[in-house]
Amino acid sequence: MYLKPGVVEVRTIDYPALELRDGPGVAPGNAGRKCRHGVVLKVLASNICGSDQHMVRGRTTAPEGLVLGHEITGEVVERGPDVEFIEVGDVVSVPFNIACGRCRNCKERRTGICLNVNPVRPGGAYGYVDMGGWVGGQAEYVMAPYADFNLLRFPDREEAREKLLDLAMLSDIFPTGFHGARTAGVGPGSTVYVAGAGPVGLATAAAAQLLGAAVVIVGDLNADRLAQARGFGCETVDVGQGPVEDQIAQILGTPEVDAAVDAVGFEARGHGPDAAEEPATVLNSLMGITRAGGALGIPGLYVTEDPGSSDQDARTGTLKVRLGLGWAKSHRFTTGQCPVMRYHRELMEAILHERVHIAKAVGATVIGLEDAPRGYAEFDRGASRKYVLDPHGSLEGVRPV
């Protein structure tokens, strides 16, 4: 649970009901909303995400008492009377975007901007600021609405248990990385630059390899995270050691790539060991190193309100982006939440058939729910790990694929 900037604690909360009760962060129009179409899940795995860290650092308007956690894998223990196809006992992946399945955007598979789950603006998510107030899954149990539409049921319960650590990446990080690579136009033979070697950046790099990229280059300041990227076949760039384009030229023989992905987001810093925060640094850098006619995938988070920024414009999400450069090079840009449901079934099959090793790629590390504050602190200090909370001991003995 988020209490204030820099502080998360493990506290006892109520067992979930098939109703969105009023509470911290719940949009007034959602309070008391009945969810006969929902299920209650026993949480088997719930990951700590870099997006959670933005809230914990005080860089959003998240309220005190918000239950965090939007990366959820669980077992159905109760289902609402309107649920037809999901059964008690099913093991499922929960897309972090909550979607009704009925609105125009959902029918167009744009489930990250559902029009019916958040009265404040399009798009809903578990345990996240301004996303409707749906209670997060860094807990023992959680309620998931619109279960028939949202949940991805694993076809073989026992196989799912054996590969649970990898399958836990399907709720957000793996589809998000895949979305970043796909929207950047990555395909067979592509050269790709991924800005950021955190878990999303590493997932993007693994996704680019799955899509057939010839060379994947990952840039960061963190030596441990760059080593993690090299561990599964990526080239790396230390952005504190000189211009990115010069280092790319040393690798490729040219200073440009076919496709680039921003896996950093709005807390970006300038390129240098002691550089100050510059929110538009990554976007401007990527436009410089992406070939004319190329594309930028932008799964890195950008916000409408950043109260912790030292830049007055950035506090309202206004960045100094060199749009003229992108226009001159005919770049394509794709932003926004990843529509998880567009990709998660295919990525599940890639995991089950061991075509990708996503848990190894992102450094998946299992800890108990009671250790969540430590996980947040270590992740904030730059640990090259993807922390996976295990509230019930379900991941005991589970190894990466």
Task: For the chain, list the domains and their CATH numbers.
Answer: 2-172+356-389 (3.90.180.10), 176-334 (3.40.50.720)
User: Are the beta carbons of 221 and 240 closer than 8 angstroms?
Assistant: yes
Q: How many residues does the chain have?
A: 401
pLDDT band (50, 70, 90) for residue 273: low
- 81-93: average pLDDT: 98
**Confidence category of residue 276, pLDDT binned at 50, 70, 90:** confident
Q: Residue 267 — very low, low, confident or very high, per pLDDT cuts 50/70/90?
A: confident
Over range 244-259, report the average pLDDT. 98
Say what the pLDDT of residue 31 is: 97
Supply the pLDDT for residue 317: 86
Model confidence at 316, pLDDT cuts 50, 70, 90, reads: confident
Residues 94 and 72: their CA atoms lie apart, in Å, by 5
Q: In this predicted structure, what is the pLDDT of residue 77?
A: 98
Q: How many CA atoms lie within 13 A of 160 on its CB side?
A: 20
Handedness of CA 348, 354, 358, 360 (dihedral sign): positive
Q: Which amino acid is present at 172?
A: D
Q: Around 69, how many Cα atoms within 13 Å sit in the side-chain half-sphere?
A: 33
Give the model's confidence band at 363: pLDDT under 50 very low, under 70 low, under 90 confident, else very high. Answer: very high
> Which of the two residues, 310 and 332, has the higher pLDDT score?
332
Q: Check residue 341 and give its pLDDT.
A: 97
Mean pLDDT of the 374-398 span: 96
How far is the C-alpha of 40 from the C-alpha of 63, rounded, in Å?
24
Which band of pLDDT confidence, cut at 50, 70 and 90, is reported for residue 304? confident
Tokens found for residue 265 = 């987001």
- Alpha-carbon distance of 181 to 201, in angstroms, equals 10
Q: What is the mean pLDDT of the chain?
A: 96
Torsion, Cα 124 128 129 134, to 10 degrees, reads 60
**Taking 90 as the threshold, does the pLDDT of residue 271 lie above it?**
no
d(CA 317, CA 201): 22
Q: Provide the pLDDT confidence category of residue 215 given band limits of 50, 70 and 90.
A: very high
- Judge whether residue 153 has pLDDT over 80: yes
Q: Over 90: is that where the pLDDT of 306 sits?
A: no
- Residue range 362-391: average pLDDT? 96
The confidence score (pLDDT) of residue 84 equals: 98
Instruction: Give the strand pairing for 97-98 and 124-125.
Output: antiparallel
In three-state form (DSSP H/G/I as H, E/B as E, the rest C), the secondary structure along the chain is: CEEECCEECCCCCCCCCCEECCCCCCCCCCCCEECCCCEEEEEEEEECCHHHHHHHCCCCCCCCCECCCCEEEEEEEEECCCCCCCCCCCEEEECCEECCCCCHHHHCCCHHHCCCCCCCCCCEEECCCCCCCECCCCCCEEEECCHHHHCEECCCHHHHHHCHHHHHHHHCHHHHHHHHHHHCCCCCCCEEEEECCCHHHHHHHHHHHHCCCCEEEEEECCHHHHHHHHCCCCEEEECCCCCHHHHHHHHHCCCCEEEEEECCCCCCECCCCCCCECCCHHHHHHHHHEEEEEEEECCCCCCCCCCCCCCCCHHHCCCCCCHHHHHHCCCEEECCCCCHHHCHHHHHHHHHCCCCCHHHHHCEEEECHHHHHHHHHHHHCCCCCEEEECCCCCCCCCCCC
Provide CB contacts within 8 A for 242, sequence distance 6+. none
Supply the pLDDT for residue 100: 98
Task: Report the alpha-carbon angle 355-357-361, nearest 5.
Answer: 145
Q: What is the pLDDT of residues 18-45, one digit of tens each?
A: 999 999 999 999 999 999 999 999 999 9
Give CA–CA dist 192/101, Å, rounded. 34
- Rounded to an integer, the average pLDDT of 294-300 is 97
Q: 73 pLDDT band (50/70/90 cuts)?
A: very high
CB of 273 closer than 8 Å to CB of 265:
no
Rounded CA gap, 137 and 140, in Å? 8
Amino acid 305: pLDDT: 83
pLDDT at 278: 82
